[in-house]
Amino acid sequence: MSSVLFDVPGPRARLRHRLYALLTIVVLVGAIGFVVYRFTVTGQFEPVKWSWLEYKQIQLSMVDALLNTLKAFAAGAVLAMAFGAIFAAGQLSDHKIIRVPSMVVVELFRAVPLVVMIFFFHYGVSPGPPFYSVVLGLTLYNGSVLAEVFRAGVRSLPRGQSEAAYAVGMRKTQVMSNVLLPQAVRAMLPAIISQLVVLLKDSALGFLITYDELLEFARDIGSSFQFDRPLVPVTIVVGAMYIAMCLLLTWLATYLEKRSRRNKKVLKLEKKPAEDVVAAAV
Amino acid sequence: MDVLLDNLDLYGPGFLSTIWLFLISAAASLVLGVVLAMLRVAPVPVMRSIGSSYVTLLRNTPLTLVFFFFAFAFPLLEIVTPATFGSASGYYFFAALCALILYTSAFVCEVVRSGINTVPVGQAEASRALGLTFGQMLASVVLPQATRAVVPPMMSTMIALLKNSTIAAGFSVFQAGSISLYLSERGENQMIGLLWVALFFILLVIPMSLLQRSLEKRWSIAR
């Protein structure tokens, strides 16, 4: 198979590629070997550092921490979607008095770092437990990004959709809520879900304001001398949990994308402008 | 206004440190990201799988966790420790750089890879048919076309990096994000202090995103 950069390899190129592969494997094995060596030398594989996994109390508090992470994610996701839908509609409004303020709001919340926002709510406004500050921050930031995604989605729909809707006598609000937004959401589902992955990852910022989520749990267990400060093992376990959750969401996105490709009701758009908005979702 | 003027000794070094964090990690993650992108498009399957596993792992880990690892767990492996730098603050700056570089390079890699993939295969095949060498093909056919697809999303990645650098506030690096924590020690109003920090970021980020959008608009017509 020919790719953009490399032609189909001939016999000599194939030999060379095999040599490269061998060299890469040697380097890779060396790197892994170094890591394993450092782990053994500093005693990261010692049973006492992993024994915390066996305590029922600790397992329960890990589940609690996981649930707290998921709680912040769920609340943030629902509110951000609502925020996004409202402000996307606002940005697309015909009235300048609605359009300009919503654009300003979306731009502002996209420009301020989430950490600064969460600190602002937690230390500045202090609406109560850290949970509220985290959810508020997640909602405003990701909601603004989602507003851009929704807006790009509506923009990408063919004009005929809204023209037809007006022709059957729908009002502007009806056109937006019954015709345009549902189709935009469908077309943008993969983009929306990858933003939700970002939201899930950002919920870890709650750690900075002592919200009781997975990372806070990691620090608690990691600093206990009873298990000889198992910071490395606990980071690996928590990291694996985050990766598993994010991959599940991503698989959901690919599944939905495949399903919508089979579905004839979804319009086939030539190009997805929102991909650029989210391609760099960090 | 008073909060800003009375504490210029915090704001000045704070933002300077943010900008250093940003510049160093931007440069390093661009290099590492391009190397990773090369791995991901390489003709050797082992290289491709190394590139894609790196990207999958780092993209699905919260940046806060990467910071957590480098700030707290990494010194325990005794490869690089605070003693290497002589001071704890030096080590934390190094840890923040590591976290930002490793995390951002995964995104840079994806942007570069998808940029290269937007160039139709026919372009490369045609240049090979004309007898261009690999270097000539890259320099005069593939890269000029890929740049159009790469630069706008790359700018968003860099904007995100600038914003992400504030996470270092939670990991003992003195920069823009941590100004408010010091303000509270001085008994200043944190709310107003944070508004100034937010304003600074707005002033930095909005021109960048406007530029990004205009580039996107100007270049999107080309293909």
> What confidence tens digit (pLDDT) does each residue in A9-59 have?
889 989 999 999 999 999 999 999 999 999 888 888 888 888 888 888 888
- Show Cβ contacts of residue A73 under 8 Å, excluding neighbours closer than 6 positions: A196, A199, A200, A203
Sign of the Cα pseudo-torsion (B201, B204, B207, B209, in order)? negative
For residues A232-241, average pLDDT:
92
Asked whether B33 and B106 are in contact (CB, 8 A), the reply is yes
pLDDT at residue B118 tops 90: no
Asked whether A117 and B181 are in contact (CB, 8 A), the reply is no
Listed residue (B176, B82, B153, B178) closest to A275, CA to CA: B153
pLDDT at residue B104 tops 70: yes
Q: Which two tokens stand for residue B31?
A: 């290099």
Tell whether A274 is within 8 A of chain B (Cβ). Answer: no
Residues on chain A touching B109 (C-beta within 8 angstroms): none
Q: How far apart are CA A48 and CA B126, in angstroms?
A: 62
pLDDT at residue A75 tops 50: yes
Listed residue (B9, B17, B6, B15) closest to B189, CA to CA: B6
DSSP letter for B220, please.
H
Q: Which two tokens stand for residue A71?
A: 């709680």
pLDDT at residue A83 tops 80: yes
Among A37, A108, A112, which would you mutate to test the B interface (most chain B Cβ atoms within 10 Å of its Cβ)? A112
pLDDT given at position A1: 44
Higher pLDDT, A265 or B35: B35
A280–B206 CB contact, under 8 Å:
no
Among B166, B180, B200, which would you mutate to test the A interface (most chain A Cβ atoms within 10 Å of its Cβ)? B166
What percentage of chain A has pLDDT greater than the value 70? 91
Tell whether A246 is within 8 A of chain B (Cβ). Answer: yes
Q: Which among B73, B114, B163 has CB closest to A235? A: B73
DSSP letter for A192, please.
H
Residues on chain A touching B69 (C-beta within 8 angstroms): 235, 239
pLDDT given at position A275: 46
Domains (range + CATH), chain B:
2-220 (1.10.3720.10)
For residues A102-118, average pLDDT:
90
A219–B191 CB contact, under 8 Å:
no
pLDDT given at position A280: 46
Q: How far apart are CA A204 and CA A7, in angstroms?
A: 44
Using CA atoms, how far residue B88 sits from A100, B71, B188, in Å, is 47, 10, 27
**In CATH, which superfamily holds the domain spanning A49-279?**
MetI-like (1.10.3720.10)
A42–B77 CB contact, under 8 Å:
yes
Average pLDDT, chain B: 86
What percentage of chain B has pLDDT greater than the value 70? 98
**Helices in chain A by DSSP H: which ranges?**
11-41, 47-50, 56-91, 96-111, 114-119, 130-156, 159-167, 172-174, 181-202, 214-222, 231-262, 274-279
So what's the ipTM on this one? 0.86
B169–A115 CB contact, under 8 Å:
yes
pLDDT at residue A2 tops 60: no
For residues A100-119, average pLDDT:
90
Listed residue (A278, A110, A155, A95) closest to B210, CA to CA: A110
Lowest pLDDT segment from A30-34, A106-110, A134-138, A184-188: A184-188
Using CA atoms, how far residue B178 sits from A130, A205, B43, B182, B190, in Å, is 18, 14, 45, 7, 11
For residues B1-17, average pLDDT:
79
pLDDT given at position A273: 43
Among B59, B100, B133, which would you mutate to test the A interface (most chain A Cβ atoms within 10 Å of its Cβ)? B59
Residues on chain A touching B177 (C-beta within 8 angstroms): 113, 115-116, 119
Domain residue spans of chain A: 1-41, 49-279
**Hey, how many other C-beta atoms are within 10 angstroms of the C-beta on A34?**
11
What band does B9 get if pLDDT is binned at 50, 70 and 90? confident
Residues on chain B touching A195 (C-beta within 8 angstroms): none
pLDDT at residue B108 tops 70: yes
pLDDT at residue A279 tops 60: no
Radius of gyration of chain B (CA): 21
Tell whether A146 is within 8 A of chain B (Cβ). Answer: no
Using CA atoms, how far residue B1 sits from A258, B5, B46, B194, in Å, is 54, 6, 57, 12
What band does B50 get if pLDDT is binned at 50, 70 and 90? very high
Sign of the Cα pseudo-torsion (B89, B94, B100, B103, in order)? negative
